[in-house]
Amino acid sequence: MTAAEFQVDLVIPTQTKYLSLIGSIGEHIAKGLENYSGDKNALAYQLNLVLTEATTNAIKHSNSDNPKDTVRITIHIYDDELVIKVYDHGQGFDLDSVPLPDDLQESGRGLFFIRELMDSVEYRQEQDWNVLEIRKSLK
Amino acid sequence: MTAAEFQVDLVIPTQTKYLSLIGSIGEHIAKGLENYSGDKNALAYQLNLVLTEATTNAIKHSNSDNPKDTVRITIHIYDDELVIKVYDHGQGFDLDSVPLPDDLQESGRGLFFIRELMDSVEYRQEQDWNVLEIRKSLK
Amino acid sequence: MKIKKEKIKDFILLTPEEERIDAHNSTEFKEYILDLIKKSEINLIIQLDQVRFIDSSGLGALLAGFKNAQRKAGKLLLVNIQPQVLSMFELTRLNRVFEIYADLDEIFESEP
Amino acid sequence: MKIKKEKIKDFILLTPEEERIDAHNSTEFKEYILDLIKKSEINLIIQLDQVRFIDSSGLGALLAGFKNAQRKAGKLLLVNIQPQVLSMFELTRLNRVFEIYADLDEIFESEP
Ligand SMILES: Nc1ncnc2c1ncn2[C@@H]1O[C@H](COP(=O)(O)OP(=O)(O)O)[C@@H](O)[C@H]1O
Ligand SMILES: Nc1ncnc2c1ncn2[C@@H]1O[C@H](COP(=O)(O)OP(=O)(O)O)[C@@H](O)[C@H]1O
């Protein structure tokens, strides 16, 4: 993996009004991928969705004691892979123990979408942030 | 000036296909400004334009010897001000000696727009980058 | 959130006039629907032709409406879903939960 | 770049089917126009109703067409410009250079 061809690093207040901006960045990026052999419009929707879901979670579970808390989102596009990282200052959680949603359950489909549409998902600590790291191959 | 409320830092290849992404980020940001008392739709167009013009110049005047050259764009939104920085690796130029365009001249209106629509513009060197720094008050 | 509300035969037709339904507006959307059902408007058609994007919270809002309507022996039908939005229903298998129609004609053609 | 080309009375009507004209597509746009003029299609109407955004290179492309048409004693008229795009013509005073019409009717009503 060489240097990223495209990278974006965003820091936003913990407000849902920024979701459409984050999502549309994902859409634009997908539509601009020249070497992607798959369906770019489908990927555009998927990135929009995955970024929206991950950012929503980071906003929802941010540090509620700090009204100035922020969420950070980075997207790196390499030749053959894209890497999204979403950082929060919340209490953290155990990704592996999140169950699959039932058919009639009203919530709990965010991580399901992320897992279903991307290739790998991890959640870990890095300095004072929690990081959800999402990868997808672009081959 | 306290910490930025919103910040984005982008690194792109020197390709014009990224202009619409950069411009649309500017539009989204303007439309999300809650405390701006002016016309948000006008500001949205203006940020779209200013980012497009500044990024176009940085792409056009990038280091042509390096096919992997990049352009960096940062946008910081503070309470009362926005700051755009566009970084290039080109030969640089003297901002103050750029003349106003004639009525029938086909080019040369990029910096005119930036100066006309924003409050201040500077061009200087920072480490190995040239930086165009654009400021606009949000009061 | 902008929602157009019309009466059409025995149904209330709701058309969200938004490109996106996400966590920013889905709570309002859900409350709007639940409020109607509470007021005994239990037969709803939700027309999604303007919605280009829906996230899990948007699906959740629709599901809340669906379950509440059913509990009162009402109906919540979906109509005019854009293809990419429809794939989200398919991925979550919610296309098997909801009654989904291509257009309004399809809903009413079988009725007398 | 997608451009619709129609014949309307003595004019060629060009409608760029793009939301943006910027440095990514303006060279193609300019060459398209200059190419027509070279082929003696010197009376052009450019309809900008679909263009939500234009940058300085887009204005430059139109200006190149305008000057080339004039040089051959032709005309390049602009029509149906969206308000925000129009303000860019005003800011650069190019609204005093181009002949700008509200709609096609306005162009032809004065003609016999
Ligand atoms: N960034 C996060 N910080 C803390 N908990 C999280 C985070 N992201 C997800 N979770 C946990 O995982 C669960 C499932 O998340 P998700 O699938 O997105 O559905 P939902 O948010 O609708 O419950 C959440 O209910 C929450 O408990
Ligand atoms: N980033 C840059 N690096 C080097 N020269 C630049 C840069 N930006 C602008 N210039 C110079 O300033 C001139 C005016 O720029 P501008 O007003 O954007 O119009 P145009 O690019 O259409 O000529 C350019 O022709 C170029 O010589």
The domain defined by C3-110 folds into: Transcription Regulator spoIIAA (3.30.750)
- D21/D56 Cα distance (integer angstroms): 9
Span B6-137: which CATH code?
A: 3.30.565.10
Q: How far is CA A50 from CA A73, B97, B107, in A?
A: 12, 47, 41
Q: Which residues of C touch A52 (CB under 8 A)?
A: 22-23, 53, 55
pLDDT (0 to 100) of residue A2: 59
Query: Are D67 and B104 an interchain contact pair (Cβ–Cβ within 8 Å)?
Result: yes
- The average confidence (pLDDT) of chain A is 94
Closest CA to B101 of D22, D76, D97, D87: D97
ipTM of the prediction: 0.91
pLDDT band per the 50, 70, 90 thresholds, residue B35: confident
pLDDT band per the 50, 70, 90 thresholds, residue A67: confident
- B34/B23 Cα distance (integer angstroms): 20
Query: Are C23 and A41 an interchain contact pair (Cβ–Cβ within 8 Å)?
Result: no
- For the cut 60, the answer to whether the pLDDT of residue B1 exceeds it is no
pLDDT (0 to 100) of residue A69: 93
* Residue whose entry in the numeric block shows the structure tokens 């974006």: A8
pLDDT band per the 50, 70, 90 thresholds, residue B67: confident
pLDDT (0 to 100) of residue A1: 46
pTM of the model: 0.92
Of how many residues is chain D composed?
Answer: 112
Which of ligand 1's atoms lies nearest the C-alpha of A108?
A: 19
pLDDT band per the 50, 70, 90 thresholds, residue D112: low
The mean per-residue pLDDT over the stretch A71-77 comes to 97
> In this structure, which residue's CA is closest to atom 25 in ligand 1?
A108
Pick the more confident residue, D42 or B139.
D42
- For the cut 90, the answer to whether the pLDDT of residue B4 exceeds it is no
- For the cut 60, the answer to whether the pLDDT of residue C112 exceeds it is no
pLDDT (0 to 100) of residue B5: 85
Nearest CA in chain B to A21: B28
Q: How far is CA A46 from CA A115, B24, C91, D55, in A?
A: 11, 19, 12, 31
Domain boundaries, chain C: 3-110
The mean per-residue pLDDT over the stretch A17-27 comes to 94
H helices of chain A, in order, are 19-31, 40-60, 110-117
Q: Which residues of A touch B8 (CB under 8 A)?
A: 8-11
- For the cut 70, the answer to whether the pLDDT of residue D97 exceeds it is yes
The mean per-residue pLDDT over the stretch C10-39 comes to 98
The mean per-residue pLDDT over the stretch D78-98 comes to 98
Q: Is the CB of B72 under 6 A from ligand 2?
A: no
Q: What is the distance in A from the centroid of ligand 1 to the CA of A51?
A: 14
User: With touching defined as 3+ CB pairs under 8 A, do chains D and A touch?
Assistant: no
pLDDT (0 to 100) of residue B22: 96
Element (H, E) at C30: helix C26-38
